[in-house]
Amino acid sequence: STSPLMLCPGSTATLTANAGSNYAYAWSNGPNNAGTTLQYNAIPAAGLTLTVTVTDASTGCSSTSAPVVVQPVTLANPSILPNTAALLQLCEGETLTLNASHPTLSNFSWNTGQNGSSIAVSAGGHYEVSVTDTNGCTATEAVTVGMNSGGDLAAIPVGCYDYCELTAFSVP
């Protein structure tokens, strides 16, 4: 018995019989050519077992392959906190900590090149974290951090120091 072919979310796999050009092929999932392409979302959760029957066109002799088991991998996306636009805002000079979590994996890799469950960011932009399971399947999550400019400080009355944090501000 061979190990199942593990198919990652969003991917495809192509199985090909390679007997030659003078043969007819019949896959157990329908296609009558040398190859069959399997889409991740078309594989049942319990998996799919396939065989191919190859028939020699000149003699009529045929043979059926050993079964190939294709198993879909279920992999949840990681999550990032904070994850609301209001909390993903920075003022100049501030730092924001982004914390990643996953129900089963802890090998976090960020698009900044850093590894680990949390990173400190001090600039606006797109931040993405990924995890990879033992099958080589990868799941990602991303947030966008905004950078507030702060505006004209001369227009702020004395005693107002959190202008950058406000969503709306008007001077009477």
Query: 92-147: per-residue pLDDT in tens?
Result: 889 999 999 999 999 999 999 999 999 999 999 999 999 999 999 999 999 999 98
Residue 134 phi/psi, 5° resolution?
-70, -15
pLDDT at 150 over 70: no
**Which pTM does this prediction carry?**
0.74
Q: Which residues contact 106 (CB under 8 A, 6 or more apart)?
A: 117, 131
CA distance 91 to 50: 57
Instruction: For residue 82, say if its preceding peptide bond is cis, omega within 30 degrees of 0.
Output: yes
